[in-house]
Amino acid sequence: GAGVSQSPRYKVAKRGQDVALRCDPISGHVSLFWYQQALGQGPEFLTYFQNEAQLDKSGLPSDRFFAERPEGSVSTLKIQRTQQEDSAVYLCASSLAPRGSGGSPVQYFGPGTRLTVT
Amino acid sequence: AQSVTQLGSHVSVSEGALVLLRCNYSSSVPPYLFWYVQYPNQGLQLLLKYTSAATLVKGINGFEAEFKKSETSFHLTKPSAHMSDAAEYFCAVSYNNNDMRFGAGTRLTVKP
Report pLDDT digits (tens) over B15-29. Answer: 999 999 999 998 767
For chain B positions 72-91, those within 8 Å of chain A (CB to CB) are 90
Which of B84-102 are b and which e, b meaning 16 or more Cβ less than 10 Å from the residue's Cβ? ebbbbbbbbbbbbbbbbbb
pLDDT score recorded for residue A1: 54
Q: Between B89 and B1, whose confidence is greater? A: B89
pLDDT classification of B96: cutoffs 50, 70, 90: low
What do you get for the CA distance between the two ends of chain A, in Å?
Answer: 37
- For residue B46, pLDDT over 90 is answered with yes
Instruction: Please give the Cα distance from A92 to B2 (Å, whole number).
Output: 21
Least confident among A1-15, B65-79, B95-109: B95-109
Least confident among A93-97, B49-53, B59-63: B49-53
Minimal C-alpha gap between A82 and chain B (Å): 22
Coil, helix or strand for B28? Answer: coil
As a whole number, mean pLDDT of residues B58-74 equals: 93
Contact A115, A19 (CB under 8 A): yes
Q: Of A24, A109, A114, which to mutate for an interface test with B (greatest number of B Cβ within 10 Å)?
A: A109
Which residues from chain B sit within 8 angstroms of residue A30, using beta carbons? none
Which residues from chain A sit within 8 angstroms of residue B9, using beta carbons? 40
pLDDT score recorded for residue B98: 58
Interface touch A105/B102, C-beta < 8 Å: no
Interface touch A109/B9, C-beta < 8 Å: no
Contact B14, B23 (CB under 8 A): no
- For residue B40, pLDDT over 80 is answered with yes
pLDDT classification of B53: cutoffs 50, 70, 90: confident
As a whole number, mean pLDDT of residues B78-98 equals: 89
Instruction: Please give the Cα distance from A48 to A32 (Å, whole number).
Output: 6
pLDDT score recorded for residue B51: 80
A44 in contact with chain B, both atoms CB, cutoff 8 A: yes
Give backbone dihedrals phi and psi of A112, rounded to 5 degrees, phi first.
Answer: 90, 160
Instruction: Please give the Cα distance from A77 to A60 (Å, whole number).
Output: 10
pLDDT score recorded for residue B1: 61
Q: Residue A70: how many CB atoms within 10 A of its CB?
A: 9
Instruction: Please give the Cα distance from A64 to A116 (Å, whole number).
Output: 16
Interface touch A45/B43, C-beta < 8 Å: no
pLDDT score recorded for residue B42: 83
A97 in contact with chain B, both atoms CB, cutoff 8 A: yes
Stretches where chain A sits below pLDDT 50 are none
Which residues from chain A sit within 8 angstroms of residue B104, using beta carbons? 40-42
